[in-house]
Amino acid sequence: MIRVSKIAHATYETPDLDKQTEYYTEILGLTVAARDKDTVYLASTVDHHSVVLKRGASAQCTRLGFQIAQDGDLDAFEKQVAGHGAKTERKKDPDPSISEVVSFSDPKGTTIEVFKREAFSHQKFGKKGIVPHKLGHVAFHVKDVKKVTKFYCDVLGFRESDWMADFFSFLRCGPDHHTINLMETGSDRHFHTAFELRDWGHMHEACDLLSLNGYKLLWGPGRHGIGHNLFAYHRGPNGLIVETFAELDRMNEELGYFEPRPWHRDNPQRPKVWEKDPSASNLWGVMSGDEMMK
């Protein structure tokens, strides 16, 4: 099968486009790569854009972009998707720097755009704000976690990294422990969008920068059990939750276990089903409050 190998971008509708753009540039430290009246393309590095903001009635994540390998076969990928009963659409020049996408909907209604990165934009990291390495993962509330998980694995080639009991899946499409995570809660909607930072020092700077600009943490800093990443969550101006993280587990696909780390409890640490236990959420002990679930 043809597998996607990277999350490339996430697209959000947002009512106050200017305010959200200011947050993404001044606080998160992404760069405006292109914009028109109703759309802003935000970059973190070599890719033309990692985040797309579109003017819309309510704040929501509407689309996810994934890359297949540079020498991958987009025609064969489209056949693979159609073979699973999904209705596909082919679009030429849908966004700057992307010449062709295969577009379809996942079972929870998010548009998926799969493409080949034919050229890099050679952008440099910005110098103000948090400046993450990259868009790391997007997490969703879902009505049917088994159905959506199966779709991502069978149609897009994701692998299951871990589960929390039978209601929360963590799926990878490359070495990072998770790129998509899905929590069954009774509704289909965005849960959080996560950006990767360098290390603990960068997390520390980010938390201070957020605080100095009036953004209070909802949860963290802490260390998740599942994925073992350092985490801190806050809410952006449009109300959607953003996570900054570092030290996420990385899979050695040939050997079938995550790169060894001193904070692991299993040696080696392999994909598994975790019990619904506080340490699966935060090894450092502090649980999330109701705010995280709103």
Q: Which residues pair with 154 in a beta bridge?
A: none
From the list 8-16, 73-81, 155-163, 192-200, the region that binds Fe ion by CB under 5 A is 192-200
Q: How far is the CB of 202 from Fe ion (least distance, A)?
A: 16
Does position 10 interact with Fe ion (CB under 5 A)? The reply is no
Least distance CB 235 / Fe ion (angstroms): 14
The span from the CA of 115 to the CA of 130, in Å, is 28
Token pair of 227 as six digits: 């994925």
Applying CB under 5 A, does 243 fall inside the site for Fe ion?
Answer: yes
Phi, psi of 276 (to 5 degrees): -75, 85
17 sits in which H/E element: helix 17-22
Q: Which of 96, 101, 104, 116 is nearest to 36 (CA)?
A: 96
Looking at the Cβ atoms of 41 and 168, the one nearer to Fe ion is: 168
Instruction: Tell me which residue has its CB nearest to Fe ion.
Output: 194
Residue-by-residue DSSP string for 250-285: BEETTTTEEPP-TT-SSSSB--EEEPS-HHHH-TTS
- Binding window for Fe ion (CB under 5 A); candidates: 51-59, 70-78, 188-196, 212-220: 188-196
Q: How far is the CB of 224 from Fe ion (least distance, A)?
A: 8
Choose one: 62-70, 83-91, 237-245, 260-268; the region binding Fe ion (CB under 5 A): 237-245
Question: Scanning the structure block, which residue is given the tokens 């009963």?
Answer: 85
Shorter beta-carbon distance to Fe ion: residue 48 or 192:
192
Which member of 194, 241, 248, 280 binds Fe ion (CB under 5 A)? 194
Nearer to Fe ion, 81 or 135 (CB): 135
Q: Does 241 bind Fe ion (CB under 5 A)?
A: no
Please tell me the distance from the alpha carbon of residue 138 to that of residue 182, in angstroms, as a whole number.
Answer: 9
Residues near Fe ion, by CB under 5 A = 194, 243
